[in-house]
C-alpha cells in the first residue's frame, strides 16, 4: 500500500488538539503548545498512532505527551518538502520575500517571547538567564541576520576566457534533513532552518526526543507567518527511527546534524550508504582554556566559570580542560573554586538560581558516572562531586554540584571524553610548547581559549590551537554572524555567518559561447 493510500485511509484529522495547558510560572499566564507532527503546515497525528512523553527535568515528572513520528511520517514529510521545492515557486521565489518571511517569524517570536521562554525552561531545565538573555535573542538575531542575507547570495561573472563568458548561480540544494540536539532546542532549530530557508531550500527537521516543545511552538508561528505549506516540516521522535530515516532517505539532498560525535559518525555512514547526500556535522568537544600568569586573573576566573556554567556544562564548546601556568596555579585554583562554589543550584524558575537541573536522567547518570571515574582514576575533587540537594525538590530532578577536579593526568577519561555537565578539570603547565601540545592532544577541535595580556603570545597560541573557535580573554561567546564549527572529530562544515550559506547552495557554472568554434 502506498503511503498516500495509507494516509487517506486513516483520514487523519488535519489539526491535532493542543497540549494540556501549562502554567507559565513567569508571568502567570497559561501557555499551550501543539503536539502533532507538522507536515504541509498542518499538525497531524502520527501514522502509527504512537505518542511519547516529555519530562520536566526539574521534577522528573511528565509534562505532556506528543505525537511520535516514525519512518512513514518522515516519508510523508519528505514528500511534502519535495513537492514544495519542485512543484511550487519556492526554490525560484523572490529572495526578498523569503527574507520577509524570516523577519515575520522573528516578529511573531518576539510577540510570544514569554511563552517560548517558559516552554524552553520547562522542557530543558534552563534558567531564565540562559533562556531569555542568550538563547532567545540568539534565535531572533539569527533569523534577522539570515533574512538580511536572503537577497545577497550572489554568483561570479568571468569575462576572462576568450570567446566565452561564464557566470555562476547559487541554487538551493533541495530537501534538507536537519537533526538537532536537546541542549539548545530553540537556538538549534533556528540556526538550522534560517540559512536553509534564506537560500530557497525546504526542510524536514527532527527535534531531540527530550526537548521537542519550542520547535512545535515555532512551527505554529511558521504557519502564521505565511510560509508556504511544505517549506518547513517537523517530525518529533527518536534518533533510531526518525533521525535514522532522515539520514538514510533517498530523496533528502542534504543532512545537517548537531549532536554527539558517535551519532555524527552514524549519520555520515548513512549518507554514504544511501544517496551520498551532503552532510554537515557539528559535534562534540573537549575544549582547552589556557591561563597565563600575565592574565587578569580575576577576569580569567569569571570567564572560566562561565566556560563551564553556561547551560550547566551542556554545551559542546564548554571549557572543560583548564590549563593554568604554575606561577599562578594556586591563586587561580583558589579564586576559581570560590567562584564555582558561589553558584546557586536549584529550581530553574527561581530567578536567583545559576544552575538548574541537567536535562535528563540519562545525562545525569552519565555525568555522575564520569565523576566516579575521575575519583577512581585518582584525580582530586576540589569542589562538588556529588548530587546537589535542592530545597523543595524532594530528591527529584537532576541536580549536580558544580565539580572541579585537580591533579588530573592527560590519559584520564575525565580529561579525554566529553562529560556534558558541570564538571571541569584543572591541570598545571610550565611552558607554551607544553601547553599547546597538551591542549591539542584531543580528538576534538571545537573551541579553545587563551588568557594573557601579551599580544605576541596571543598570536602564537591562537595560531597553534587546532580549534574552530578560539577566544582571547573570554569564553563561551558565539555570535550568529561568525562561522562556528569544528576541526578534527568536532565536525564538518560551518554554521552561522556567511559560511553557512555555502552548505545550503549548489554552485552551477554556466558558459556562454560568444564565438568559439567546435573543436574538429
The verdict on 243 binding ligand ADP (CB under 6 A) reads: yes
To the nearest 10°, the Cα dihedral for 194, 150, 73, 78? -140
The verdict on 240 binding ligand ADP (CB under 6 A) reads: yes
- Of the candidate residues 34, 239, 307, 445, the single one contacting ligand ADP (CB under 6 A): 239
- Of the candidate residues 153, 213, 247, 383, the single one contacting ligand ADP (CB under 6 A): 247
- Of the candidate residues 70, 206, 317, 321, the single one contacting ligand ADP (CB under 6 A): 206
The verdict on 347 binding ligand ADP (CB under 6 A) reads: no
Identify which of residues 320 and 382 has a Cβ nearer to ligand ADP in the complex: 320
Grid cell for residue 382? 576540589
Segment contacting ligand ADP by CB under 6 A, of 90-98, 121-129, 206-214, 305-313: 206-214
The verdict on 181 binding ligand ADP (CB under 6 A) reads: yes
b/e per residue, 88-112, with b = 16+ CB within 10 A?
A: eebbebebeebbebbbbbbebbeeb
Size of the residue set binding ligand ADP (CB under 6 A): 17
Site map 250..279 versus ligand ADP, x via CB under 6 A: ---------xx--x--xx------------
Q: Tell me the pairing of strands 288-291 and 447-451.
A: parallel
Give the 3-state DSSP-derived string for 175-235, with helices as H, strands as E and coil as C. EEEEECCCCCHHHHHHHHHHHHHHCCCEEEEECCCCCCHHHHHHHHHHHHHCCCCCCEEEC
Contacts of 236 (CB under 8 A, 6+ apart): 37, 52, 66, 67, 68, 69, 206, 207, 209, 212, 215, 216, 242
Grid cell for residue 300? 580569567
- In angstroms, the CA 282 to CA 286 distance is 13
**3-state DSSP: the chain helix, strand, coil percent, rounded to 5?**
40, 20, 40
Question: Which of 258, 260, 288, 442 lies closest to 366 in space, CA to CA?
Answer: 260
- In angstroms, the CA 449 to CA 304 distance is 9
CB of 182 to ligand ADP, least distance (A): 6
- In angstroms, the CA 211 to CA 33 distance is 13
Contact 382, 372 (CB under 8 A): no
Site map 64..103 versus ligand ADP, x via CB under 6 A: ----------------------------------------
Question: Which of 198, 431, 243, 403 lies closest to 318 in space, CA to CA?
Answer: 403
Identify which of residues 241 and 382 has a Cβ nearer to ligand ADP in the complex: 241
- Of the candidate residues 71, 112, 135, 209, the single one contacting ligand ADP (CB under 6 A): 209
- In angstroms, the CA 403 to CA 401 distance is 6
Segment contacting ligand ADP by CB under 6 A, of 15-23, 118-126, 201-209, 371-379: 201-209
The verdict on 315 binding ligand ADP (CB under 6 A) reads: no
CB of 46 to ligand ADP, least distance (A): 16
The verdict on 317 binding ligand ADP (CB under 6 A) reads: no
From the number of C-beta atoms within 10 Å of its C-beta (0-12, 13-18, 19+), residue 62 rates as exposed
CB of 286 to ligand ADP, least distance (A): 14
The verdict on 422 binding ligand ADP (CB under 6 A) reads: no
Identify which of residues 244 and 304 has a Cβ nearer to ligand ADP in the complex: 244
* Residues carrying an active site annotation: 282
CB of 206 to ligand ADP, least distance (A): 6
Identify which of residues 197 and 316 has a Cβ nearer to ligand ADP in the complex: 316
Identify which of residues 244 and 337 has a Cβ nearer to ligand ADP in the complex: 244
Identify which of residues 251 and 302 has a Cβ nearer to ligand ADP in the complex: 251
For residue 452, how many C-alpha atoms fall within 13 Å in the half-sphere facing its CB?
20
The verdict on 205 binding ligand ADP (CB under 6 A) reads: no
The verdict on 244 binding ligand ADP (CB under 6 A) reads: yes
Identify which of residues 323 and 398 has a Cβ nearer to ligand ADP in the complex: 398
CB of 446 to ligand ADP, least distance (A): 14
Owner of C-alpha cell 592574565 = 295
- In angstroms, the CA 520 to CA 508 distance is 27
Grid cell for residue 362? 540519562
Identify which of residues 239 and 397 has a Cβ nearer to ligand ADP in the complex: 239
Owner of C-alpha cell 576540589 = 382
Identify which of residues 218 and 290 has a Cβ nearer to ligand ADP in the complex: 218
**Contacts to ligand ADP from residues 446-475, by CB under 6 A:** none
CB of 254 to ligand ADP, least distance (A): 14
Q: Which residues bind ligand ADP (CB under 6 A)?
A: 179-181, 206, 208-209, 238-240, 243-244, 247, 259-260, 263, 266-267
Amino acid at each position: 500500500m502506498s503511503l498516500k493510500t495509507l494516509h487517506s485511509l486513516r483520514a487523519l484529522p488535519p489539526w491535532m488538539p493542543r497540549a494540556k495547558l501549562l502554567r507559565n510560572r513567569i508571568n502567570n499566564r497559561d501557555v499551550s503548545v501543539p503536539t502533532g507532527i507538522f507536515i504541509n503546515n498542518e499538525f497531524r497525528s502520527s501514522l502509527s498512532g504512537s505518542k511519547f512523553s516529555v519530562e520536566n527535568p526539574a521534577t522528573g515528572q511528565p509534562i505532556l505527551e506528543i505525537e511520535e513520528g516514525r519512518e512513514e511520517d518522515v516519508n510523508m514529510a519528505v514528500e511534502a518538502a519535495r513537492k514544495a521545492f519542485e512543484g511550487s515557486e519556492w526554490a525560484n521565489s523572490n529572495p526578498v520575500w523569503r527574507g520577509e518571511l524570516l523577519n515575520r517569524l522573528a516578529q511573531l517570536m518576539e510577540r510570544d517571547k514569554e511563552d517560548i521562554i517558559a516552554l524552553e525552561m520547562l522542557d530543558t531545565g534552563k534558567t531564565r538567564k540562559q533562556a531569555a538573555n542568550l538563547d532567545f535573542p540568539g534565535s531572533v538575531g539569527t533569523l534577522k541576520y539570515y533574512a538580511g542575507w536572503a537577497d545577497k547570495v550572489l554568483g561570479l561573472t568571468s569575462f576572462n576566457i576568450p570567446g566565452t563568458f561564464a557566470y555562476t548561480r547559487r541554487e538551493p540544494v533541495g530537501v534538507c534533513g536537519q537533526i538537532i540536539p536537546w541542549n539548545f532546542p530553540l537556538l538549534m532549530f533556528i540556526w538550522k532552518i534560517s540559512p536553509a530557508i534564506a537560500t530557497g531550500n525546504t526542510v524536514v527537521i527532527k527535534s531531540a526526543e527530550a526537548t521537542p516543545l519550542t520547535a512545535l511552538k515555532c512551527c505554529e508561528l511558521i504557519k502564521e507567518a505565511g510560509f508556504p505549506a511544505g517549506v518547513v516540516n517537523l517530525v518529533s521522535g527518536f534518533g533510531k527511527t526518525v533521525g535514522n530515516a532522515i539520514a538514510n532517505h533517498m530523496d533528502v539532498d542534504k543532512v545537517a546534524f548537531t549532536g554527539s560525535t558517535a551519532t555524527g559518525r552514524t549519520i555520515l555512514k548513512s549518507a554514504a550508504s544511501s544517496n551520498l547526500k551532503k552532510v554537515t556535522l557539528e559535534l562534540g568537544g573537549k575544549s582547552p582554556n589556557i591561563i597565563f600568569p600575565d592574565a587578569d586573573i580575576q577576569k580569567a576566573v569569571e570567564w572560566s566559570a562561565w566556560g563551564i556554567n553556561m547551560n550547566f556544562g551542556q554545551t559542546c564548546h564548554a571549557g572543560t580542560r583548564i590549563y593554568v601556568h604554575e606561577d599562578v596555579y594556586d591563586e587561580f585554583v583558589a579564586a576559581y573554586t570560590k567562584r564555582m562554589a558561589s553558584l546557586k543550584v536549584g529550581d530553574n524558575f527561581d530567578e536567583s538560581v545559576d544552575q538548574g537541573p541537567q536535562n535528563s536522567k540519562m545525562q545525569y547518570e552519565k555525568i555522575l558516572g564520569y565523576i566516579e571515574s575521575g575519583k577512581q582514576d585518582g584525580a582530586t575533587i576540589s569542589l562538588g562531586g556529588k548530587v546537589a540537594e535542592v530545597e523543595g525538590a524532594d530528591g527529584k530532578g537532576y541536580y549536580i554540584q558544580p565539580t572541579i577536579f585537580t591533579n588530573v593526568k592527560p590519559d584520564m577519561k575525565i580529561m579525554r571524553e566529553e562529560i556534558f555537565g558541570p564538571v571541569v578539570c584543572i591541570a598545571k603547565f610550565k611552558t607554551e610548547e607544553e601547553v599547546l601540545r597538551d591542549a591539542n592532544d584531543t580528538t576534538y577541535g571545537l573551541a579553545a581559549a587563551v588568557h594573557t595580556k601579551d599580544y605576541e603570545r596571543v598570536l602564537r597560541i591562537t595560531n597553534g590551537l587546532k580549534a574552530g573557535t578560539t577566544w582571547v580573554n573570554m569564553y563561551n561567546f558565539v555570535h550568529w554572524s561568525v562561522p562556528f564549527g569544528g576541526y578534527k572529530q568536532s565536525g564538518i562544515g560551518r554554521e552561522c555567518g556567511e559560511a553557512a550559506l555555502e552548505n545550503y547552495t549548489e554552485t552551477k557554472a554556466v558558459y556562454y559561447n560568444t564565438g568559439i568554434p567546435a573543436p574538429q
